Amino acid sequence: MTATIRVAAAPISWGVCEVPGWGRVLDAATVLGEMAALGVQATELGPPGYLPRDPAELRELLGKYGLRLVGGFLAVVLHENQQQALEEAEESAALFAACGGDVLVLAAATGLDGYDDRPKLTDTEWATLVGTAGMIRDIAAAHGLRTVLHPHVGTHVEQQDEVERFLADSDLGLCLDTGHLMIGGTDPVELAKRYPERVGHVHLKDVREDLAAEVRAGRLGYTDAVGRGLYTPLGEGDVDVASMVRSVQAAGYDGWYVLEQDTALGEESPDDLPRRDTGRSLAHLAKITDSL
């Protein structure tokens, strides 16, 4: 029996990232057009400024390609400057809701550019982080959105002990990002089994463990690792994607599975590389769902 799951994409799979100097950025018409050509029916928003921030313009653009909006990623500093974080969350939540989104994917940014350095937080700063996340949850809920916390490399919730601490201190659900969790030292399959009720959103990635181990040990920067092929099409890396999907499906998860293969396009990278890799991931995911 074939299960029906909701699959979306994200511009980061086409190399579109908020980090300065990340790589070559393809235009929105190319990215959205290739999503549609692959049969994807929804997308996350991508970094601020890539797609229109005016709701009417964004709805018109997505509609042109037959895409709906899942929601979007919001990386803000949660441990200080609380009012600024809340204002950014209000603006993003209003936009996501106005365009049909249903989830705000929150990350605890450090305030530094990129994802290669992480200052250590004090206990007071951590408490502020948790409290601000809860306030953002309430802001999003007022717009009809769910909020999930995204454990992410280079943020203040990255490593396994930080993920566990956040789960203990907050009632927010998690974005189960199979790649970032694995790079941070958390087995995403085991996490999903232990906390099925906390899985509020899923980002599907596959990862080369040899490069992930170098990042984890501090011998290789995250950005450099991405450029060396840290992320692979689903089924070609070391994440047990099939077991993770089966686990969350068995627990009753009915949200989106967002394909996110973080890509950095160099000047020599073929323009069709993201489309080909995403197509391979979609084919592998189809085999998994055929077996459910």
What is the average pLDDT across 163-184?
97
pLDDT > 70? residue 275? yes
Q: What integer pLDDT is reported at residue 19 of this predicted model?
A: 84
Going by their DSSP bridges, the two strands 103-109 and 199-204 should be labelled as unpaired
Task: Quote the Cα angle for 116-117-118, to 5°.
Answer: 130
- Whether residue 101 is contained in a domain is answered as yes
Q: What integer pLDDT is reported at residue 9 of this predicted model?
A: 97
Q: In a 3-state reduction of DSSP, which class is residue 6?
A: strand
In whole angstroms, what is the distance from residue 267 CA to residue 255 CA? 36
Contact 245, 257 (CB under 8 A): yes
pLDDT > 60? residue 2? no
Alpha helices in the chain (DSSP H): 28-37, 55-64, 82-98, 123-142, 160-169, 178-183, 188-194, 209-216, 222-227, 241-250, 273-290
pLDDT in tens, 55-80: 999 999 999 999 999 999 999 999 99
pLDDT > 80? residue 52? yes
Q: What integer pLDDT is reported at residue 115 of this predicted model?
A: 79
- Whether residue 36 is contained in a domain is answered as yes
In whole angstroms, what is the distance from residue 259 CA to residue 132 CA? 28
The β-bridge partners of 258 are 8, 203
Going by their DSSP bridges, the two strands 103-109 and 68-77 should be labelled as parallel
**DSSP type of residue 235:** T
Q: What integer pLDDT is reported at residue 20 of this predicted model?
A: 85
What is the phi/psi pair of residue 233, to 5°?
A: -55, 150
pLDDT in tens, 112-131: 887 777 889 999 999 999 99
Q: Give the pTM.
A: 0.95
pLDDT > 90? residue 4? no
Q: How many structural domains are present in the chain?
A: 1
pLDDT > 90? residue 21? no
Q: What integer pLDDT is reported at residue 3 of this predicted model?
A: 63
Q: Which domain holds residue 88?
A: 6-290
What is the average pLDDT across 162-183?
97
Contact 25, 49 (CB under 8 A): no
- Whether residue 38 is contained in a domain is answered as yes
- Whether residue 204 is contained in a domain is answered as yes
pLDDT > 90? residue 95? yes
Contact 149, 107 (CB under 8 A): yes
The domain that holds 178 is classified in CATH as 3.20.20.150
Average pLDDT of every residue of the chain: 95
- Whether residue 148 is contained in a domain is answered as yes
- Whether residue 1 is contained in a domain is answered as no
pLDDT in tens, 193-204: 999 999 999 999
pLDDT > 60? residue 1? no
Q: What integer pLDDT is reported at residue 256 of this predicted model?
A: 96
- Whether residue 40 is contained in a domain is answered as yes
pLDDT in tens, 213-249: 999 999 999 889 999 999 999 999 999 999 999 999 9
